[in-house]
Amino acid sequence: MSLFKAEFRRLLKRRFVRYMTLGGLLVLIAVAVGTFATNHKIGPAEFAAAEQQAEQQYRENVRWATEEKKQCEQAKASGNFDANRFPADCSQISPAPRDAFEARWFLPSTFDFRRQFEDMITAWAAILALVAFVAGASFIGAEWSTGGMMNLLLWRPQRLRVLLTKLGALLTGLLGVALVTAAAWVGAFWAIASLRGTTEKTTSGVWQSFGLTGLRGLAVVLVAGAVGFALASLGRHTAMALGGALGVMVVGQFGLGIVLNMAGVTFAEAWLLPTYLLAWMQKKVVLQDWDACNATYTGECKPATMEIVWQDGGTLLAVGLALTLGAALWMMRRRDVA
């Protein structure tokens, strides 16, 4: 049996990887079920009910305005006028026009496939990336901690080849899971939109955009798995990768974010990893600084902005992968494995 086949079978038989994958699938199912349960198909009955609610809100507003105007006039006549409650001219108290109460405000939530599915792709990528990171760390970390790596190198002493073959088996497994779940994800949300929303205006251009977003999400999943694999290989234990990830999130993200906000740093989010990952998935993230007010000729205050585009996020992913995987390969080549 080839080394790749042996490593791929070892990956499939590892119980923690199975459980982690199953957990990720259950989370995906929960998201889909929750979306189905909280959305509704909009039809004539729903529009009629919404119109009725809008009419009711308008009538309540008319009654309130009429009562307020009456109390204002009575207060003026009795000499107990409260300037903090009523305007100087009681005739200014009037109900809002009927067209200010739009029926669409009272419609139930509905799933618009064209507008909302891209966010669902981001959710899919985030869940699978977490699964990939932990699975990758566990796959190689368990080999080191149990002595399996040392035994393997006794009959395959080519260190880098062994490590890269294990990584290749991991990425192949992750690719298979990602493609299967992606197809199921698209089918599930198309069904949700058909039954509990709308699929209108889903043109070929929209599908192309979804496809590119899905490819970027797939890249995040594979990079997460490779980074988890590399960190656990560096520390020769799964805990190295998990502890490193926890440290980055707690110290490098939450702690850094608090410090930057306390220091009043402009565009503090530009220093945080999630901003770049979001920019990678959504193509662009626009940060705003409301402390820097750019007044327009109409007197409107427009905040200063900073754009982070998908190329910035892609560069960060590439650099992170190169550093961690490069360090793992270098350490594997130079140090003893005993």
Q: pTM score, two decimals?
A: 0.81
Classify 306 in phi/psi space as left (phi over 0), alpha (psi -120 to 50) or beta. beta
Residue 314 has a pLDDT of 93
Residue 270 has a pLDDT of 78
Domain ranges (residues) in the chain = 3-41+110-334, 44-106
Residue 214 has a pLDDT of 96
Q: Phi, psi (5° rounding) for residue 107? A: -75, 145
Residue 335 has a pLDDT of 61
Residue 121 has a pLDDT of 96
Residue 238 has a pLDDT of 72
Per-residue pLDDT band for 182 (boundaries 50, 70, 90) equals: very high
Strand partners, 106: none
Per-residue pLDDT band for 298 (boundaries 50, 70, 90) equals: low
Model pLDDT for residues 157-167, shown as the tens digit of each residue: 677 888 888 99
Model pLDDT for residues 103-138, shown as the tens digit of each residue: 778 778 889 999 999 999 999 999 999 999 999 988
Q: Where are the alpha helices (DSSP H) in the chain?
A: 3-13, 15-38, 44-78, 113-145, 148-155, 159-196, 204-235, 238-247, 256-262, 273-282, 310-334
Range from 117-126, 166-175, 274-283, 296-305 carrying the lowest mean pLDDT? 296-305
Model pLDDT for residues 280-295, shown as the tens digit of each residue: 999 998 888 766 665 5
Say what percent of the chain tops pLDDT 90.
Answer: 38
How distant is the alpha carbon of residue 148 from its chain centre?
Answer: 36
Range from 139-153, 245-259, 298-312 carrying the lowest mean pLDDT? 245-259
Q: What is the average pLDDT across 178-197?
A: 95
Burial 182-204 (b: 16+ CB within 10 A, else e): beebbebbeebbeebbbbeebee
Per-residue pLDDT at 76 exceeds 90 = no
- Nearest partner of 225 among 17, 3, 4, 5, judged by Cα: 17
Residue 338 has a pLDDT of 46
Range from 33-37, 97-101, 142-146 carrying the lowest mean pLDDT? 142-146
Q: Which of 41-50, 143-152, 239-248, 261-270 has the highest mean pLDDT?
A: 41-50
Which residues neighbour 188 within 8 Å (Cβ) at sequence distance 6 or greater?
A: 32
Higher-pLDDT residue of 220, 77 = 220
